[in-house]
Amino acid sequence: MKYSPNKIERKWQKYWESRKIYEPNLQDPKGKGKFYNLMMFPYPSAEGLHVGNMYAFVGADIYGRFKRMQGYDVFEPIGLDGFGIHSENFAFKIGKHPIDHAKTSEKNFYRQLRSIGNSFAWNEKLETYDPDYYKWTQWIFVQMFKNGLAYRKKASVNWCPSCLTVLADEQVFAGECERCGTKVIKKELEQWFFKITKYAEKLLSNISKIDWSERVKTAQINWIGKSEGAIIYFEISKYRNFEISVFTTRPDTIYGATYLVLSPEHELLQKLREDIKNWSEVNAYIKTATQKSEINRIAEGKEKTGIELKGIKAVNPVNKEEIPIWVADYVLGSYGTGAIMAVPAHDERDAEFAKKFNLPISDAPLADKDEVIKKAGGKREIQYHLRDWLISRQRYWGPPIPMIYCKKCSWQPVPENELPVLLPKIKNFRPTGTDKSPLALVDKFYKTKCSICGGGAKRETDVSDTFLDSAWYYLRYPSVKDKKNPWNPGLTKKWLPVDMYIGGAEHSVLHLLYARFLAMVFKDLGVIDFEEPFSKFRVHGLLIKNGAKMSKSRGNVVNPDEYVKKYGADALRMYLMFLGPFEQGGDFRSTGIAGITRFLNRVWNFISKLEEPQEPNKEAEKILNKYIKEIGGDIENMKFNTGVSGLMKLLNELEDKWLTAKQYGTFLKLLAPFAPHIAEELWQEVLGNKKSIHLESWPEYDEALLAEEMVQLVIQVNGRVRDTIEVKKGLSEEDIKKIILDRDNVKKYITGTIKKVIYIQDRIINLVV
Ligand code: ANZ
Ligand code: ZN
């Protein structure tokens, strides 16, 4: 029989699923115990998954399969992050209702995810738009409210003029909407927030306790942005009852403070409008400045703007000097106190501003920090750049925020036994462009009764941010069957936290920060007993095509379906992994995959020739032994690319030898995480095994056998020993020369050309110069 992936892959996928090979024993983890292997679930914002998505899933799956073979009871669930603006926008684009689109895309996404042959636990899948799921998302909102962690606030918020909704700070990249790239503007609106800032210190200090990719940890540290400094009060000369407090990290520079700056949002401006002689000018400045996004205000190289407040002055508390007060948009309303003391001699931003507006630059000496704070009557202060999480969205496709407003009794949560608040299927689901969600036009939806006084009341019509859906899904997977709890206490104790989490770096400060925050809250509420949801997290690299990130807008998206059809899932899996180190990504070229197919064909023929020899082949044993260690190490370290090339080298070394059935089996076990279908076919159909290869143990290797493979080689120059090196046994003179001529210890003694080489294999090499 010839190798034909189409004939075997579907067959084994059905076999695995029907026999529940990949279902862990949730109640009582088997073997070495539980291993929760999680990858970020996809959001269906397009027709289907592209190979870039598959790349991440396959890498995570190889790791999970390896853990299973090491004896862990692996839980590898999958689901869909199907709510949210991404999916909603896509539904608009293809002219479908989001509810209908969700049904179609669910089928297609799951079909694709099945086709790649991952060891998913299909019994525990979930979709965030399923009322069974979002009931609990709403429940979480209610708990947040009841515990003072959800609140409403009028604030200057990010508004995307294209998505027609507010955005969280984390969803604004370089002043643009994370989703559509439109320049974000600022709007003054009342919104719901989650108090993530309460956990700023814990979110920061716990980072040293988790095993995560460095770049994600750094991104979180920077985003939280802890600053130590002081608050110092400046009186306003004529109005002793008004004080301007400034936050500074450099109180020691206070003698050089030559003016103060208020942010355009500063509340004092409105209070002092009578006294500000040039108010109309100032007011016009405030209006334009507050509409700009923060990043556009503070971007490097951006021309500084501002206006002096005529008619008032501030007093420097240490030397009592009167200094002017300005309003300028390079000072942000949302950070510190929204006001600064400007020290142009020490701060570049201030220097730039002072030069432009001809303000004095003082070279007064630095003072002692603690003295200054005391003398000025200030206080030490720690500030975080982290802002509270803006959670409400003026869109349709999300869980309605489960809150009710009564004119008499104010805001109250929907009683828990009335959850979920179902998202109604409405015709006009498009964003309204006002600061209201489309649900605000549906009186059947929003008209309700106050649960306190029984009077008429109104439901909240905004929905919650998609990032709330995905901030807790990992808790739901083991408990999807539990109708009474968001997560079953017993199962949660057994399976959490997640042992390995894999996902993209784009979520460094979004999803990954929100999930950590909620876990900390749940821990404090006593509903879970851990603080960090993901013990280990690794970022996967991106697949690029023709030098650019794969994306629909660039038109360089590759659909995995055609490759699965033409070459099979095994070939695609191995090819994707071969493209580069998993944590760095690779460049997808459609030409290389045929090479993998040739390799799989050779594997097929190699195993199919099975003919048991009289005695086990000793040399084959040694070779296998070496690769068991190497390939296992590669998988553990996510070097799947070298794992694939290791398999190729292994085949090269074994191909001309006769192996025992057990040795053939060992080869297949090493192949199994990468190419699960062909490995299963050959294992069962050729080697005649009755149990799945994926339930076998990863082969063990023998250190003693490994040692024999290497030898210590002595290196001489002109007859004197200069170096020793461990090399593989049996290398040729040419190979050895290539290795040793690069070594510093050798190079420095080679003063002329090499005249002669004396080489005694596996023992000594002497270079004569
Ligand atoms: C005087 C000074 C002198 C400052 C000096 C710095 C250097 P981080 O590290 O980000 O916390 N600042 C304070 N509040 C601000 C706001 N709302 N908008 C813009 N800038 C603000 O930075 C703290 C420093 O940034 C503060 O210390 C303040 O300038 C400025 F040689 O005060 B400094
Ligand atoms: Zn009421």
Instruction: Pick the atom of ligand 1 nearest to 249's CA.
Output: 27
Model pLDDT for residues 93-114, shown as the tens digit of each residue:
889 999 999 999 999 999 999 9
d(CA 45, CA 255): 56
Strands 764-768 and 756-760: antiparallel
Residue with tokens 């009028």: 154
Contact 340 CB / ligand 1 (< 6 Å): yes
| Rounded (10°) angle between helices 51-69 and 618-636 | 120
- Tokens found for residue 497: 């936290």
Q: 420 C-alpha vs ligand 1 centroid, how far in Å?
A: 46
d(CA 134, CA 129): 6
* Residues facing residue 127 across a β-bridge: 80
Q: Do the Cβ atoms of 696 and 671 come closer than 8 Å?
A: no
Q: 247 C-alpha vs ligand 1 centroid, how far in Å?
A: 7
Contact 338 CB / ligand 1 (< 6 Å): yes
d(CA 623, CA 628): 9
Residues with CB under 5 A from ligand 2 (ion): 406, 408-409, 450, 452-453, 455
Q: Do the Cβ atoms of 37 and 635 come closer than 8 Å?
A: no
Quick check: helix, strand or coil at residue 242? strand
Which residue, by CA, sits nearest to atom 5 of ligand 1?
347
Mutate to test the pocket of ligand 1, among 233, 265, 327, 335 (most ligand atoms within 8 A of CB): 335
* Residues facing residue 717 across a β-bridge: 720, 767
d(CA 577, CA 640): 6
Does an H or E element contain 722, and which?
A: strand 720-728
Which residue, by CA, sits nearest to atom 2 of ligand 1?
250
Q: How many CB atoms lie within 10 A of CB 128?
A: 26
Collect the ranges in the chain with pLDDT lower than 70. Answer: 239-240, 552-553, 612-614, 708
d(CA 657, CA 671): 18
Q: 226 C-alpha vs ligand 1 centroid, how far in Å?
A: 12
Residue 761 burial class via C-beta count within 10 angstroms: exposed 0-12, middle 13-18, buried 19 and up? middle
Instruction: Pick the atom of ligand 1 nearest to 257's CA.
Output: 1
The DSSP code sequence of 603-661 is HHHHHHT----SS--HHHHHHHHHHHHHHHHHHHTT-HHHHHHHHHHHHHHHTTS---H
The DSSP code sequence of 75-94 is E---EE---SHHHHHHHHHT
Contact 331 CB / ligand 1 (< 6 Å): yes
Contact 304 CB / ligand 1 (< 6 Å): no
Q: How many CB atoms lie within 10 A of CB 302?
A: 14
- What pLDDT score was predicted for residue 240? 60
- What pLDDT score was predicted for residue 295? 80
- Record the pTM: 0.87
Which residue, by CA, sits nearest to atom 7 of ligand 1?
347
d(CA 18, CA 21): 8
d(CA 341, CA 262): 9
Q: What domains are defined for the chain?
A: 226-384 (3.90.740.10), 602-704 (1.10.730.10), 709-768 (3.10.20.590)
Contact 341 CB / ligand 1 (< 6 Å): yes
